[in-house]
Amino acid sequence: MTDPVKLAIESVDTDAVTAHEGVVAVLAEPGQRLDSAAARVNRAQRGALARLVASDVFGKLKPGEAVRMDWPAGMAAETVLAIRLGRKEDAAAARKAGAAVGKALGKAGALICAGSHKQAAQIGLGAVLRAYDFADHRTGERRMPGTVRLAVSDPKAVSADWAPMQAAAAGVLFTRDLVNAPANVLTTKAFAKQIKGMKELGLTVEVLDEEALGKLGMGALLAVGQGSDSPSKVAVIEWRGGKKNAAPLALVGKGVVFDTGGVSIKPAAGMEEMTMDMAGAAVVAGVMKTLALRKAKANVVGLVGLVENMVSGNAQRPGDVVTSMKGDTIEVINTDAEGRLVLADVMWYAQERFKPAAMIDLATLTGAIVIALGHENTGVFSNDDAMAESVLKAAAAEGEGAWRMPLGEAYDKQLKSRLADMKNVGGRAAGAVTAAQFLARFVKDGTPWVHLDIAGTALRSDETTFAPKGATGWGVRALDRLVRDRFEG
């Protein structure tokens, strides 16, 4: 697994600025006086930094954007990054500034001259998130970034701010590693093993095997995995940091480690990306890791359904009727609409066993949500306005795009079945909505529930501000923020 780049928080030392051999990052704003570190860089460069800051090029930058000055005269550094970031800029701009450093980071590391900036820890977070590089399966020279030194006026205060962010960064990178892992490596057994390893953080972990799932009546989930040699499992991860008898928040994740589409097989083009169909489960695991690392004062339980949807002589067929743990029967029209079958049983089990205060499920559920929202926003569906607003607010605070989508009884007619209580698909029209409407049937009355369709945001074919191409870790920081804001203290 990928270790986060090391962030060392230290006092400002202007003598170190010209001696650092990697990346030196300074903060500036047109019309404002350079701080002591930036002034030292400017003197070493004989005024070049001041001329840059006063230029139209720098003036047109958005907060958090940077200009590179490679092999600067008078300094040992390979690169000086001049970052536009005023003292009053918010956390989002500060994270973006840090991401510019993380992207430029090399073996010699980086020195970020943050001084007394109030968002210094957020700068560090951006750097750590963007410095991520998944290289587990590359045999050639791999990127080995050096330490990021965050030079600040008050290291003790910034270190206190950084501690919970460090936990969130570890959770994000854990999630990215899981999503990026190939399916022959991250099997259902291997995923379960990774989750079991989280016990060392103080989490309680239980893994239910197929025999146990059969006894519980999880016929929908088991039907999805019956065509694979990888056994289906449900992992239960508990963090009890709140009041002893307080009902937990339940997080439920879809963990389809590979999705061929089953008998309703997907097109070959792009099928290799279906290693990411377990991203919902990965986010749940990442959130639980974060909560344990920062000792969250809340009760949260994560449940993930781990299956593989393969084609074989034992795979479920279109037209099969399966019985969910709830007892409802489902006509399988399309075996590629398998994630909702997994979630239906795990969501019902979560409510039966834990009586949660609220429930959130995450899944790469539909291609339709990508058509609706692209890759910038996760689709948010909910039966509870206050809960939905809390999720949207938390996502916005962490810069993770989310957009609320509709639910309504009018969509139920698309799920009517001639043979069973419902069909597992409702046709092309409003595909993401009917998928959510299907899941809503497995939410008990009185349970606040949010469904997050992360099909467009879990994996990107282009780099983002905070991640290279591949897994993004979307949702770990947003849900950690939600727990802090709504379920702690």
Inter-residue contact 251 to 362 (CB < 8 Å): yes
Asked whether 340 and 435 are in contact (CB, 8 A), the reply is yes
| Nearest residue to 253 (alpha-carbon basis) of 179, 368, 342 | 342
Query: What is the rounded distance in angstroms from the CA atom of residue 473 to the CA atom of residue 287?
Result: 10
User: Quick check: 383 and 443 in contact, CB under 8 A?
Assistant: yes
Determine how many CB atoms are found less than 10 A away from the CB of residue 307: 33
Nearest to 378 by CA among 407, 406, 401, 405: 401
CA distances 454 to 78, 168, 429, 431, Å, are 39, 19, 19, 14
Strand partners, 236: 206, 303
Is-catalytic flag, 340? Answer: yes
What distance in Å separates the CA atoms of residue 433 and residue 410, rounded to the nearest whole number? 11
For the residues 284-296, what does the mean pLDDT come to? 98
Q: Closest Cα partner for 420 from 318, 333, 331, 316?
A: 331
Supply the DSSP symbol for 248: P
Q: Are 114 and 150 in contact (CB under 8 A)?
A: yes
Answer whether 203's CB lies under 8 Å from 237's CB. Answer: yes
Say if residue 331's pLDDT is above 90: yes
| Residue 144, pLDDT score | 77
Catalytic residue flag (residue 176) = no
Query: DSSP code of 151?
Result: E
- Give the number of other CB atoms < 10 A from CB of residue 20: 21
Cα–Cα distance between 381 and 440 in angstroms, integer? 9
Catalytic residue among 43, 240, 266, 460: 266
Please, which contacts does 199-206 make with residues 24 or more away whose CB atoms are closer than 8 Å?
Answer: 201/289, 201/292, 201/293, 202/239, 202/292, 203/237, 203/238, 203/239, 203/288, 203/289, 203/292, 204/237, 204/238, 204/239, 204/240, 205/235, 205/236, 205/237, 205/238, 206/235, 206/236
For 183-199, the pLDDT digits (tens) are: 999 999 999 999 999 99
The 10 Å Cβ neighbour count of residue 207 is: 19
* Predicted pLDDT at 141: 67
Residue 49, pLDDT score: 97
- % of the chain at pLDDT higher than 70: 99
Name the packing angle between helices 91-104 and 120-130 (round to 10°). Answer: 40
Over residues 238-246, the mean pLDDT reads 96
- Range of weakest confidence among 428-432, 469-473, 485-489: 485-489
Share of the chain above pLDDT 90, in %: 97
Which domains can be identified in the chain, with CATH numbers? 7-153 (3.40.220.10), 172-487 (3.40.630.10)
Active-site annotation holder among 130, 340, 423, 441: 340
For residue 394, the surrounding DSSP H or E stretch is helix 385-397
Q: Is 73 exposed, middle or buried (0-12, 13-18, 19+ CB in 10 A)?
A: exposed
Helix spans in 131-265 (H): 155-180, 188-196, 210-216, 219-225
pTM, two decimal places: 0.97
Contact 69, 57 (CB under 8 A): no
pLDDT digits (tens, 9 = 90+) for 50-91: 999 999 999 999 999 999 999 999 999 999 999 999 999 999
Q: Given this model, what pLDDT does residue 489 score?
A: 72
pLDDT tens per residue across span 126-147: 999 999 999 889 887 666 789 9
Identity of the amino acid at 210: E
Tokens of 175: 């999630």
In the prediction, which pLDDT does 373 show?
98
Distances (CA, A) of 331 to 54, 305, 317, 368, 486: 67, 20, 10, 21, 38
User: Minimal CA–CA distance to 444: which of 347, 340, 365?
Assistant: 347
Q: Give the pLDDT confidence score for residue 38 in this predicted structure.
A: 97
The answer on pLDDT for 5 being more than 80 is: yes
Exposed/middle/buried for residue 267 (C-beta within 10 Å: 0-12, 13-18, 19+): exposed
The CA radius of gyration of the chain, in Å to the nearest whole number, is 24
Outline where DSSP puts E strands in 85-182.
110-115, 148-152
